[in-house]
Amino acid sequence: MEILDRKYRILQAIIDDYILTALPVGSRTISRKYEQKLSSATIRNEMSDLEDLGYLDSPHTSAGRIPSNKAYRLYVDQMLQPIPLSLEDVAYIRSCFDQRSRQIEQISTRLARALSGVTHYTAAVMTRMPREEQIFSHMQLVPVADRRVILILVTESGAVTQTPVELEAAIDPDVLYTVSKFLSQRLAGCAMSRLQQALLEIAEGEPEEMSKLLKTLAAQDDDNMDTGSLVVGGRSNLLSFPEYSDVEKARNLLSVLETRDKLVSLLNTHGEMEITVRIGPETGMEELKDCSVVTASYRMRDGRVNTIGLIGPTRMQYGRVLSVLNQVGRSIYELFDSQDDEQK
Amino acid sequence: MEILDRKYRILQAIIDDYILTALPVGSRTISRKYEQKLSSATIRNEMSDLEDLGYLDSPHTSAGRIPSNKAYRLYVDQMLQPIPLSLEDVAYIRSCFDQRSRQIEQISTRLARALSGVTHYTAAVMTRMPREEQIFSHMQLVPVADRRVILILVTESGAVTQTPVELEAAIDPDVLYTVSKFLSQRLAGCAMSRLQQALLEIAEGEPEEMSKLLKTLAAQDDDNMDTGSLVVGGRSNLLSFPEYSDVEKARNLLSVLETRDKLVSLLNTHGEMEITVRIGPETGMEELKDCSVVTASYRMRDGRVNTIGLIGPTRMQYGRVLSVLNQVGRSIYELFDSQDDEQK
DNA sequence: TGTTAGCACTCAGGTCAAACGAGTGCTAAC
DNA sequence: GTTAGCACTCGTTTGACCTGAGTGCTAACA
């Protein structure tokens, strides 16, 4: 048991050192820097055991050891200790939410920049509005040109979307306003996912002209609500890591970061709200086999779900990254509180 | 005079070859591949002259010559011959405008992807709406929550913007509609850049409550109109060029592509509508000293200005890039034509 | 039985010199 | 004006060698 504990400590020391230096760790390094009571020979024996157990790999005979993915898994699950952030870092993260920036895009962009700046990894920030959970509050049709109008939808939680719509015939602005009022009343409380169907049902009992308009509207509003925004920051950070000094590797990785679909699938961690760490192959993407991805989701006041992904080498500073993401969570709730104050 | 012509041909051959291979070009290569009538010794003499004239550099004594920036300038200004695009490429570019995609963001994203795919360089697509040239058509205030409304502005050319506004007191929706109608009438034909002032002027003669509302509106609408969208595609393409096999260089370049301000200033070519080529130092940015940037602007039907930038190594395939940008222009005008048809 | 010192062995990386070859510049002949 | 020839330059490749960090094993020690 005592030995087990020592093995743990040694493994942890190796991982810590490797995360810092990216260089294979030798027994002497550990004996000098971390376990001064033990000789390098003893460490060597332990390291040999750890290799047998699958926690360490050796790149070649005389090059020290590097942690395996299994080791990182253990590290993340059991060895992690919170790393306090500097005041500057906390302030930087807070500042993303500070100004009452109305545009989500703006928050996302700033957040992506701040997170990549603070962690030196690449940050992806995705915002989406799961329409299943949204409830219709009201709508308005705004005339633009002869036959063009804009359909504004407002949900109970206060989210707004606009969709341009092409009508079959020109309609007087006053009529549009009346129709808007009528529909707002009829549809109030309807789930956004049922909106289309509800519109068609209303269309049934209405005169020809009105029915046509409603059908046009129903046809339009399709999947406009849950295509959210996706912003990536700090791509160039990846190139500073020695693991990507091979340009070909870097190129592969970068091209993943340019493929929206791949990024989205990476950030979609099946609705869990907790922080998720995926190490190497656990990401499920060949191109990311020596990357780790840490994702976290936050539900915003207005029903939006913000998902953040931090992408770096497998020897990521997991402790620090987790602290950063926790700080983001804290800042978001602070934001809510301050909004409450504002309302009073 | 005949010699001048020959020098030109040789210089052109050198540039062509270097663009293709990225390797210093030797006299024998030219004599074999391009000017079979002339011996390598003759070419050597000419090359020596060209170096004296500043058109060629030699990395070291025995390594062939590479074109100088001055040579590229001459190449772009005088030697360029149009390179026909493959049918696939043309189709790919056309497809960006094909579907009647309402969202500008979508067009930009697709365009950036298509251009970087076709050219293998990095493409930046910026869309902005120069408010000086826009004329107000009408507006509407849409209620969202108690004291929150959305201000919708429509210009004569059909562009639409929405700005969330926080009111000082709740206002009945019907009143909002009346106010919208009133303001639309009063402001019709007003230049967007004068809008704020015009609102304040109207506020003068109005009763307290109305005046307050107008002032709130005037305060809001500030510079929301000309912050356009900016999309970049094909960053990873850059890493395939041998000139960026040095990771440090690549990192510098990438980080420019992540700095919105720098990109914007790169794409802002002072309102010229023509295609602009900037070679190396001409970009005015140290980080881009061995890159070239080709920009082109297109005015869209609704007053938007689309600016496209293609960024690659100085030994860019200028001919091809220009053909691609011309094709983009053609496709945009096709789009307008088809919209006209649709209207009939 | 666990720990340690000692030693032979391994292997990537660095250094150095030699050979190579692509390319130039110059000269003399055509 | 053009060309063949030749000496010269200089970065690159190749291979031999050395170095040093690190391991594994064994024998002695507590």
How far apart are the C-alpha atoms of A185 and B29, rounded to whole Å? 79
CA distances from A66 to A233, A276, A283, A292, B194 (A): 29, 23, 20, 16, 65
How far apart are the C-alpha atoms of B162 and A163, rounded to whole Å? 11
Q: Which two tokens stand for residue B254?
A: 């990438």
**pLDDT tens-digit readout, A136-181:** 888 888 888 888 888 888 888 777 787 888 888 888 888 988 899 8
Which of chain A's residues have a Cβ under 8 Å away from the Cβ of B255? 236
User: Is the CB of residue B22 inside 7 Å of nucleic acid strand D?
Assistant: no
Which of chain A's residues have a Cβ under 8 Å away from the Cβ of B138? 143
Sign of CA dihedral A149, A150, A153, A158: negative
pLDDT over threshold 50, residue B311:
yes
More confident residue, B170 or B279: B279
3-state secondary structure of B123: strand
Contact A254 B244 (CB under 8 A): no
How far off is chain A from B67, nearest CA to CA, in Å?
26
**pLDDT tens-digit readout, B163-177:** 888 888 888 988 988
DSSP of B201-243: HHHHTS-HHHHHHHHHHHHHSGGGSS--EEEEE-GGGGGGSGG
More confident residue, B15 or A221: B15
**pLDDT tens-digit readout, A274-322:** 899 999 999 999 999 999 999 999 988 777 889 999 999 999 999 999 9
User: Is the CB of residue A48 inside 7 Å of nucleic acid strand D?
Assistant: yes
How far off is chain B from A140, nearest CA to CA, in Å?
7
pLDDT over threshold 80, residue B302:
no
Segment B285-295 mean pLDDT: 94
Kind of pairing between the strands at A56-57 and A136-143: unpaired
CA of B63, C1' of C15: distance in angstroms: 25
pLDDT over threshold 70, residue B233:
yes
User: Is the CB of residue B211 inside 7 Å of nucleic acid strand C?
Assistant: no
CA of A24, C1' of D30: distance in angstroms: 33
pLDDT score of A344: 44
DSSP of A81-128: ---PPPHHHHHHHHHHHHS----HHHHHHHHHHHHHHHHSSEEEEEEE
Q: How many residues does chain A have?
A: 344
How far off is chain B from A234, nearest CA to CA, in Å?
7
Q: Report chain B's C-alpha Rg in angstroms.
A: 27
pLDDT score of B2: 45
Instruction: Give B240's pLDDT tier (boundaries 50, 70, 90).
Output: very high
pLDDT over threshold 70, residue B80:
yes
Contact A250 B239 (CB under 8 A): yes
What number of C-beta contacts closer than 8 Å exist between A and B?
80
CB of B287 within 8 A of CB of B279?
Answer: no
| Strand C bases, protein C-beta under 7 A | 3-6, 9-12, 21-27
Considering all nucleic acid strands, name the nucleotide whose C1' atom is nearest to the C-alpha of residue A51.
D23
pLDDT over threshold 50, residue A333:
yes
Q: Which protein residue's Cα is closest to nucleotide C13 at C1'? A: A63
3-state secondary structure of B333: helix
How far apart are the C-alpha atoms of B286 and B68, rounded to whole Å? 17
Sign of CA dihedral B102, B106, B110, B111: positive
**pLDDT tens-digit readout, B324-339:** 999 999 998 887 776 6
User: Is the CB of residue A61 inside 7 Å of nucleic acid strand D?
Assistant: yes
User: Is the CB of residue A67 inside 7 Å of nucleic acid strand D?
Assistant: no
Neighbouring CB atoms inside 10 A of B203's CB total 17
pLDDT score of B14: 95
Beta bridge mates, A297: A307
What is the rounded average pLDDT for all residues in chain A?
A: 87
3-state secondary structure of A232: strand
Give the nearest chain B residue to A136 (CA atoms).
B144
Q: Which two tokens stand for residue A166?
A: 């092409």
Which of A102, A234, A255 lies at the smallest CB-CB distance from B236?
A255
How far off is chain A from B145, nearest CA to CA, in Å?
7
**pLDDT tens-digit readout, A180-196:** 989 998 998 898 888 88
Instruction: Give B67's pLDDT tier (boundaries 50, 70, 90).
Output: very high
DSSP A75: I
From the list B304, B322, B272, B280, the residue with the least C-alpha distance to B115 is B322
| Strand D bases, protein C-beta under 7 A | 2-5, 8-11, 20-26
CA distances from A239 to A11, A119, A313 (A): 28, 14, 11
User: Is the CB of residue A41 inside 7 Å of nucleic acid strand C?
Assistant: yes
What is the rounded average pLDDT for all residues in chain B?
A: 87
How far apart are the C-alpha atoms of B254 and B236, rounded to whole Å? 9
- Among chain B residues 29-48, those with CB within 7 Å of any atom of strand D: 37-39, 41-42, 45
Which of B102, B177, B240 lies at the smallest CB-CB distance from A251?
B240
Percent residues over pLDDT 70 in chain A: 92
User: Is the CB of residue B1 inside 7 Å of nucleic acid strand D?
Assistant: no
pLDDT over threshold 50, residue B344:
no
**Best mutation site among B258, B260, B261 for testing chain A: the one with the most A CBs within 10 Å?**
B258
CA of A306, C1' of C2: distance in angstroms: 54
User: Is the CB of residue B48 inside 7 Å of nucleic acid strand C?
Assistant: yes
Give the nearest chain A residue to B152 (CA atoms).
A142
Residue A58 backbone phi and psi in degrees, to 5: -120, 120
More confident residue, A165 or A65: A65
pLDDT score of B301: 75
More confident residue, B158 or B288: B288
Segment A48-68 mean pLDDT: 92
Contact A254 B233 (CB under 8 A): no
**pLDDT tens-digit readout, B133-146:** 788 888 888 888 88
pLDDT score of A272: 63
**Best mutation site among B239, B252, B255 for testing chain A: the one with the most A CBs within 10 Å?**
B239
Chain B residues with CB under 8 Å of a chain A CB are: 102, 138, 140, 142-145, 148, 150, 152, 154, 158, 160, 162-164, 173, 177, 181, 233-236, 239-240, 244-245, 247, 250-251, 254-255, 257-258
Segment B22-47 mean pLDDT: 91
Give the nearest chain B residue to A242 (CA atoms).
B247
CB of B302 within 8 A of CB of B128?
Answer: no
pLDDT over threshold 90, residue A102:
no
Residue A314 backbone phi and psi in degrees, to 5: -60, -30
pTM of the full structure: 0.88
User: Is the CB of residue B276 inside 7 Å of nucleic acid strand C?
Assistant: no
How far apart are the C-alpha atoms of A185 and A140, rounded to whole Å? 11
Which of chain B's residues have a Cβ under 8 Å away from the Cβ of A245? 247
